[in-house]
Amino acid sequence: MTDAPYTPPKVWTFDKENGGRFASVNRPTAGTTHEKALPVGKHPFQLYSRGTPNGQKVTIMFEELLALGHTGAEYDAWMIRIDGEQFGSGFVEINPNSKIPALMDRSGPEPFRVFESGAILLHLAEKFDAFIPKTPAARAECLSWLFWQMGSAPYLGGGFGHFYNYAPEKIEYAINRFAMETKRQMDVLDRRLKDNEYLAGPEYTIADIAVWPWYGGLAQGLLYGDSATFLDVQSYRNVQRWTRQIGARPAVKRGRMVNRSSGDPASQLHERHDASDFETRTQDKLAKPA
């Protein structure tokens, strides 16, 4: 690294050697890098994902739907490792943006794809008429918070999380800029949750399911090293109450396990193909000798 000030070139070019931790998979172009078909299971929904906050949104949604008795929401969850698998031909075919999660809905006569986590949540909510309010005003509130999350989380993850935890050097300006915005967002949530049990009001909705893995994860100290201390997340008392309340839901606990590949092996279910997998196929059990 050098202390000399950086002067951007007139025309930017890709320098893989200066890509930091993710240099092996980041690139300025889209499309496939290799041929690889995706597996297909027996259930109406085929999910290709990873247990990151964006991936957790969808697995939590599926588990919540199943908990309500929507047997038609059975799903197979296949892990996509963010080491280049996202550029395989099969995955790019269902998500040209090469980001998880991506879903194939095979419940009807013609299979179709749904990509982007917010779009998947809205699709499932409308399909099963669940976790989305019915009155126009409440529905608008729910969707407003859903899209708030889609627009806000990149400042938390790609902004604060990257520069605070992943960047090859600590850049004071970048960390301060994104820490300020992340704390502002937490304050937005805290003020909303002061007088509302959930984000859209008295009902638990896809807005909560979308926001919780990101901001609840931050509130729990699960994201970006010691960022919870750095950002003083305990001071957002209403967010903390909401985080604990949602985190206690059995479907949320199950959804957080699916496609997860880090942490306690007992909390990792790399693939999910049946409800019994939570009891029989977590990594701690698979690691035991036969």
4-43 pLDDT, tens per residue?
788 999 999 988 766 667 767 788 999 999 999 999 999 9
Q: What's the confidence (pLDDT) of residue 26?
A: 83
Tens-digit pLDDT profile for residues 220-257? 999 999 999 999 999 999 999 999 999 999 999 999 99
Q: Which residues pair with 78 in a beta bridge?
A: 48
What is the sign of the dihedral through the CA atoms of 126, 132, 138 and 140? negative
| The listed CATH number (3.90.380.10, 2.130.10.10, 3.50.50.60, 1.20.1050.10) that belongs to domain 136-254 | 1.20.1050.10
Cβ atoms within 10 Å of 29's Cβ, excluding its own: 7
Please report where in the chains the tokens 């693939």 appear, as a residue: 271
Q: What's the confidence (pLDDT) of residue 19?
A: 64
Cα distance between residue 56 and residue 64, in whole Å: 12
Q: What's the confidence (pLDDT) of residue 15?
A: 81
Q: What is the DSSP string of 111-159?
A: -EEEESHHHHHHHHHHHHT-SS-SSHHHHHHHHHHHHHHHHHHHIIIII
Q: What's the confidence (pLDDT) of residue 25?
A: 78
Tell me which residue of 102, 106, 99 sits closest to 114, measured CA to CA. 102
Tell me which residue of 56, 76, 9, 30 sits closest to 215, measured CA to CA. 56
Q: What's the confidence (pLDDT) of residue 288?
A: 74
**Residue ranges of the chain whose pLDDT lies below 70:** 1-3, 17-20, 23, 289-290
Q: What's the confidence (pLDDT) of residue 267?
A: 97
Q: What's the confidence (pLDDT) of residue 129?
A: 98
Cα distance between residue 148 and residue 146, in whole Å: 5
Cα distance between residue 200 and residue 184, in whole Å: 19
| The listed CATH number (3.40.50.1260, 3.40.30.10, 3.40.50.300, 3.20.20.70) that belongs to domain 1-130 | 3.40.30.10
Q: What's the confidence (pLDDT) of residue 248?
A: 98
CA separation (Å) from 134 to 4, 142, 203?
Answer: 58, 10, 11
Cα distance between residue 207 and residue 144, in whole Å: 8
Q: What's the confidence (pLDDT) of residue 57?
A: 98
Q: Which sequence spans correspond to the domains of the chain?
A: 1-130, 136-254, 260-286
Long-range contacts of range 127-136, CB-CB < 8 Å, 24 or more positions apart?
128/65, 128/68, 128/70, 128/72, 128/73, 130/64, 130/65, 130/68, 130/70, 131/61, 131/64, 131/65, 131/204, 131/205, 131/206, 131/209, 132/205, 132/206, 133/200, 133/201, 133/203, 133/205
Cβ atoms within 10 Å of 26's Cβ, excluding its own: 11
